A and B are shown apart, each in its own frame.
Chain A
Amino acid sequence: MHRITEMARSKLGAQEMRPNTSYRLRVSVLARAQRCAAKMAALMRFGKLCRIKIRVIGQSSSFKGSPTCLLRRTFSIYGRLSQQTFDSPSDKPQFPGASAEFVDQLEFIQPNVISGIPVYRVMDRKGQIINPSEDPKLSKETVLKFYQKMTLLNTMDRILYESQRQGRISFYMTNYGEEGTHVGSAAALEPSDLVFGQYREAGVLMYRGFPLDLFMAQCYANADDLGKGRQMPVHYGSKELNFVTISSPLATQIPQAAGAAYAMKTLNSNRAVICYFGEGAASEGDAHAGFNFSATLECPIIFFCRNNGYAISTPTNEQYRGDGIAARGPGYGMMSIRVDGNDVFAVYNATREARRRAVAENQPFLIEAMTYRIGHHSTSDDSSAYRSVDEVNYWDKQDHPISRLRHYMTARGWWAEDEERSWRKQSRQLVMEAFEKAERRLKPRPEWLFTDVYDENPTGLQKQQEALQRHLEQYKEHYPLDLYDK
């Protein structure tokens, strides 16, 4: 954007003198200003005439002429790209914007989309560890926890999806096929690490121990919902579990997560931030903002992209033409990796290492987890309208994060049919209990419509609340008051 700046100044304060400022230039500006009746006005006219920022310039010792208006690039002195010293006779490029050699042949850089960034894998589709040195060697207890959290989420998804189909809740989004990305990454974090998500990361909360009752309370918007029934279903949040409340606008959490990570760094909290988003959301301007800010401001953050092949009905070839999302990372100066999102150990390893380095080095990491969205986008979507049942079935039956981990456990004798049967039964029972309890619970008090807009209600809002109260007293039979807490 083109900006105008007035540098109308009546006197030169010492505080404004930068060490590299050319005194000669300052003096020439001042002298000219003094020749005018109103110095300020004169300088403002310069700004107006030039229509560019008037700036003092650094490194102007070799500059001839009277440049009062120059665009000067302000660059971060703590950036990775420090400016080269000005050295004219050398045959190296002196441009401040990049560190590179000259070439004397015309050649455009080709994107490498045919053979893209490889997909990191730890175990194959049958749960066999491919390279033993990459085996995280997690304890049986931990692996069982992975499995139970993934399957519990899967059970909850099935029941809540059905409940929406029956009109018992207004909306739902399943996590089918992406359970591994949630649990694998959540396990690699510290519980104090702050999570920003999109909406298909319920497994992270599940792993952190968010109770089924509270998942259900949110979807039913009942009086137990921590969010006070204000948001659509699946917009979970938990202060206690450091999971920032989900919102619908896509990618808005990405620059926010960068800001939170910057604050973590300045508060020396030894905490990291993880930020989840889909490959569709990565097309938003906010994704660009978040990646770039976190790199230039050196934030301890992990960007975790769930590339599941679709943004509602839009396939990835209509979303981007580069090599997915991971290939963008290096363009922002960001360490990047692509992992098999159906391999919970690959996700775990990548996240764990990214977390370790992000905190130690204060720099961002990008993980692109390749998966497939097995379910519909949401309960408002019928995905058979834009993709084949065979395609979906392949991922559901041949390459699923849950079945892959089950193979791994079975091979070690940690899991068998009996355990599977009894766990299925038990998990279904747990979900059904929470479900019925949530359904029976009353909705929150109608006054909660008005609270938390601000920390304290402004007078105007108090009046609106009183008006509703009076209205309800008079017309109560026309409102579903019996469903709400008193």
Chain B
Amino acid sequence: MAAAARLVLRTASGAKVLRAGLGWLGAPIRVPHAAAHFTFHPDPVPTRHGPTQKMNLFQSITSALDNTLSSDPTAVIFGEDVAFGGVFRCTVGLRDKYGKDRVFNTPLCEQGIVGFGIGVAVAGATAIAEIQFADYIFPAFDQIVNEAAKYRYRSGNMFDCGNLTIRAPWGCVGHGSLYHSQSPEAFFAHCPGIKVVIPRSPVQAKGLLLSCIADKNPCIFFEPKILYRAAVEQVPTEPYLIPLSQAEVLQEGSDVTLVAWGTQVHVMKEVAAMAQEKLGVSCEVIDLQTILPWDTETVCKSVVKTGRLLISHEAPVTGGFAAEISSTVQEECFLNLEAPIARVCGYDTPFPHIFEPFYIPDKWKCFDAVKRMINY
């Protein structure tokens, strides 16, 4: 199961000969590929939400959107190319099922998409906007930061755009280079008034997305695109909510606390296994899930117990969200810390194409950090 779900991008021998089926490129091309930098292990099948179905992450997103459109007659879904099912297949079948007025393409203009979504929400309808890649959310930065986030506050709660949810594919994908790999959550973490949420799996994705849609504040929901197909597990078909601003302890441990979100949670789970096996170190693995407003309590409670903290994210280290977690934990848990807090993150460079294997904070970099922390 897990093996089947891995993003195997090469044979064991390393580089693989690929015949590109393009007439003008008839010659075989050698393309170096890195192995997937993580392994997805599904969580235990949730039973409390009724019947489940095997879904990958994009299907669980579709399921959440389907539930929303059927229960909320005001809900609309829009963005670039969502009508035919979306470039990642997240909206497949929804237009046929709910009509072209509720699932529709917009012109190719991100500031327009978010501004339009704010307006839909202000008028009292539920707006679910898609930005095709998180990398292209920046043209809408003004609408998100100056408008969506401040709507309720500046109007004294007369108007708000709490019915707005912005979804965007997020994170590295093996070959996405500068503009199909970014993790912009820290840019938004500095902005009071919005919520930023990132799931690690299909079950989490559906529950958290439904919570974002139900939440009375504008939410940005980042979907780890590398998991769209790679992550497969049993997902409840009925709607269910997973609370926002609550981190989840995935694995109890006593020596080190590991905090991550999105795909990186799976890297951390592997690091915890390696640390146990190679060093006899017991790691507590925490999925933060909500970046803003984040769950300080769960993280600090864990660090009080373990005395050591490693935070890891794909985004560049300087100004990354790990800095916020690190300084908060340092303030709250000063007397419990046994070692400096470690941040294993992307480097302070743009996200590269061919150097991706060296760029990402993979399990070996995280493992090494754990080792050094233990020996501090």
- Which residues of B have CB within 8 Å of A231? 154
Tell me whether chain B's interface is mostly helix, strand or loop, or mixed.
loop
Please pick, from B11, B143, B157, B229, the residue contacting A40 in the complex, using a CB distance under 8 A. B229
Please pick, from B142, B156, B173, the residue contacting A225 in the complex, using a CB distance under 8 A. B156
Does B180 interact with chain A (Cβ within 8 Å)? Answer: yes
Q: How many residues of B contact A (CB 8 A)?
A: 85
Compute how far the CA of A65 lies from the CA of B24 in the bound complex, rounded to whole angstroms: 11
Interface residues of B in 348-376 (CB under 8 A from A): none
Instruction: Identify which of B29, B31, B102, B114 gathers the most chain A CB atoms within 10 Å of its CB.
Output: B114
Instruction: Identify which of B107, B155, B245 gathers the most chain A CB atoms within 10 Å of its CB.
Output: B155
Task: Tell me the nearest residue of chain B to A218, going by C-beta.
Answer: B156
Does A100 interact with chain B (Cβ within 8 Å)? Answer: no
Interface residues of B in 1-19 (CB under 8 A from A): 7-11, 18
The stretch among A288-296, A304-312, A426-434 that forms the contact with chain B is A288-296
Distance of A177 from chain B, by nearest CB (Å): 28
Asked if B156 and A286 make an inter-chain contact with CB atoms under 8 angstroms apart, the answer reads: no
Asked if B74 and A259 make an inter-chain contact with CB atoms under 8 angstroms apart, the answer reads: no
Asked if B176 and A455 make an inter-chain contact with CB atoms under 8 angstroms apart, the answer reads: no
Asked if B11 and A37 make an inter-chain contact with CB atoms under 8 angstroms apart, the answer reads: yes
Asked if B146 and A249 make an inter-chain contact with CB atoms under 8 angstroms apart, the answer reads: yes
Asked if A259 and B22 make an inter-chain contact with CB atoms under 8 angstroms apart, the answer reads: no
- Which residues of A have CB within 8 Å of B297? 459
Asked if B93 and A15 make an inter-chain contact with CB atoms under 8 angstroms apart, the answer reads: yes
Does A207 interact with chain B (Cβ within 8 Å)? Answer: no
Report how many A-B pairs have Cβ atoms within 8 Å.
231
Please pick, from A76, A255, A263, the residue contacting B112 in the complex, using a CB distance under 8 A. A255
Interface residues of B in 67-85 (CB under 8 A from A): 74, 76, 81, 83-85
Task: Tell me the nearest residue of chain A to B102, going by C-beta.
Answer: A266
Asked if A239 and B158 make an inter-chain contact with CB atoms under 8 angstroms apart, the answer reads: yes
Distance of A339 from chain B, by nearest CB (Å): 25
Interface residues of A in 444-465 (CB under 8 A from B): 451-455, 458-461
The stretch among A47-55, A145-153, A318-326, A344-352 that forms the contact with chain B is A47-55
Residues on B lying within 8 angstroms of A by beta carbon are: 7-11, 18, 20-23, 25, 29, 31, 74, 76, 81, 83-85, 87-89, 92-93, 96, 100-102, 104-109, 111-112, 114-125, 127, 132-133, 136, 139, 142-143, 146-147, 150-160, 162, 173-176, 179-180, 192-193, 195, 216-217, 229, 245, 293, 296-297
Asked if A458 and B245 make an inter-chain contact with CB atoms under 8 angstroms apart, the answer reads: yes
Asked if A288 and B109 make an inter-chain contact with CB atoms under 8 angstroms apart, the answer reads: yes
Please pick, from B112, B127, B293, the residue contacting A289 in the complex, using a CB distance under 8 A. B112
Task: Tell me the nearest residue of chain B to A65, going by C-beta.
Answer: B23
Distance of B96 from chain A, by nearest CB (Å): 8
Task: Tell me the nearest residue of chain B to A226, going by C-beta.
Answer: B156
Compute how far the CA of A252 lies from the CA of B143 in the bound complex, rounded to whole angstroms: 7
Given contacts A5-B87, A244-B122, A454-B216, 14 further A-B contacts (CB under 8 A): A2-B179, A13-B92, A38-B8, A44-B175, A46-B21, A50-B22, A247-B146, A252-B143, A252-B147, A263-B120, A289-B107, A289-B115, A293-B107, A297-B106
